[in-house]
Amino acid sequence: MGNIVAIVGRPNVGKSTFFNRLIQRREAIVDSVSGVTRDRHYGKSDWNGRHFSLIDTGGYVVGSDDVFEAEIDKQVELAIDEADAIIFMVDVESGVTPMDEDVAQLLRKIDKPVLLAVNKVDNNKRLENAVEFYSLGLGEYFPIASTNGSGTGDLLDALIEALPVNEAVEETELPRFAVVGRPNAGKSSFINALIGEERYIVTDIAGTTRDAMDTKYNRFGFEFNLVDTAGIRRKSKVKEDLEFYSVMRSVRAIENCDVCLVILDATRGFDGQVQNIFWLAQRNRKGIVILVNKWDLVEEKETNSMRDYEAMIRREIEPFTDVPIVFMSVLTKQRIFKAIETAVTVFENRSKKIKTRELNDVMLPIIEQNPPPAYKGKYVKIKFCTQLPTPQPQFAFFCNLPQYVRDPYKRFIENKLRKEFDLTGVPISVYFRKK
Amino acid at 207: G
Do 330 and 360 form a contact (C-beta atoms < 8 A)?
A: no
- Non-local CB neighbours of 422 within 8 Å, separated by 6+ positions: 349, 352
Instruction: Find residue 145's DSSP bridge partners.
Output: 150
Q: What phi, psi does 209 have (nearest 5°)? A: -125, 150
- Alpha-carbon distance 160 to 152, whole Å? 12
Query: What residues form the annotated binding site for GTP?
Result: 9-16, 56-60, 119-122, 181-188, 228-232, 293-296
Residue 181: exposure state from Cβ atoms within 10 A (0-12, 13-18, ≥19): buried
Do 103 and 29 form a contact (C-beta atoms < 8 A)?
A: no
Query: What residues form the annotated binding site?
Result: 9-16, 56-60, 119-122, 181-188, 228-232, 293-296
- Alpha-carbon distance 369 to 346, whole Å? 30
Sheet holding 114-119, edge to edge: 31-34, 41-47, 50-56, 3-8, 85-91, 114-119, 141-143
- Comparing CA positions, the residue from 397, 383, 382, 387 lying closest to residue 355 is 387
- Alpha-carbon distance 257 to 286, whole Å? 7
Say which DSSP state 278 is in.
Answer: H
- Alpha-carbon distance 70 to 24, whole Å? 31
